[in-house]
Amino acid sequence: MRLLGTSASPFVAKVRMAAVLCGIELEFVSAETMEPSDTLLSANPLGKVPVLTTETGDQVFDSSVICEMLDRMSGNQLIPQTLDAFTRTRTFEAAASGVKDALILCLYEERFRPEDKRHAAWTERQMAKAERGLAWLEAHLDDLNEDPSVAYCALAALVGWMDLRFAGKVASQAPKVRAWTDAFFAAHPELAAVKPHLA
């Protein structure tokens, strides 16, 4: 199967980590999202990554759907099936994804909008969402199951991406999350190659 994405994307990294933990090999193909190619647009009309092309040629997106597919293919290695563990895992995943969403909006506002058209109050609201979400992740870190799950992938991908784009923020605002992430990558060195990085 082939995964279309960018090396720096936290959503792509989440999927790549999930695939490694599930023992499923994915061919990674780099895609440009700022000026999407016909290849990307034909795979996902939204022009977003990641997109998984299956062995039958079907396209699957977004990251949560792809991770759930990988989980089913592997016999539920990433998503617990008991109601309590399922709820905690998927809620934690959603919180990590929400922090990513808010921070990406802040980054895009600064990177792509002319300075005289930036909306400071809007950016502050997005940053406040991200910081509340990060605090929630810090407070609920002990809710994670002992076995690696999709929540592990979501959190590790988030922190890996924040290290690129918001260096020092995790350590200063969520020291438990920082320590957890360092320990996670130390325990799973095979994931270091697929965490967010600049190509």
pLDDT tens track for 52-80: 999 999 999 999 999 999 999 999 999 99
Does the pLDDT value for residue 150 go beyond 90?
A: yes
30 three-class SS: strand
Closest to 128 measured CA to CA, from 99, 159, 156, 166: 99
Strands 59-60 and 2-5: unpaired
Delimit the CATH 1.20.1050.10 region(s) of the chain.
Answer: 83-188
Model confidence band, residue 112 (pLDDT cutoffs 50, 70, 90): confident
Helix (H) / strand (E) element for 51: namely strand 51-53
Model confidence band, residue 36 (pLDDT cutoffs 50, 70, 90): confident
DSSP state of 143: G
Delimit the CATH 3.40.30.10 region(s) of the chain.
Answer: 2-73
Model confidence band, residue 199 (pLDDT cutoffs 50, 70, 90): confident
Model confidence band, residue 32 (pLDDT cutoffs 50, 70, 90): confident
Q: Residues of the chain with pLDDT > 90: what percent?
A: 86
Q: Which one of 2.60.40.1120, 3.40.30.10, 3.40.190.10, 3.10.20.340 gives the CATH number of domain 2-73?
A: 3.40.30.10
How many other CB atoms are found less than 10 A from the CB of residue 185?
Answer: 16
How far is it, in rounded angstroms, from Cα 143 to Cα 93?
A: 12
Does the pLDDT value for residue 35 go beyond 90?
A: no
pLDDT score recorded for residue 116: 82
Q: Which one of 1.20.1050.10, 3.40.50.10490, 2.30.180.10, 1.10.10.10 gives the CATH number of domain 83-188?
A: 1.20.1050.10
105-130: average pLDDT: 90
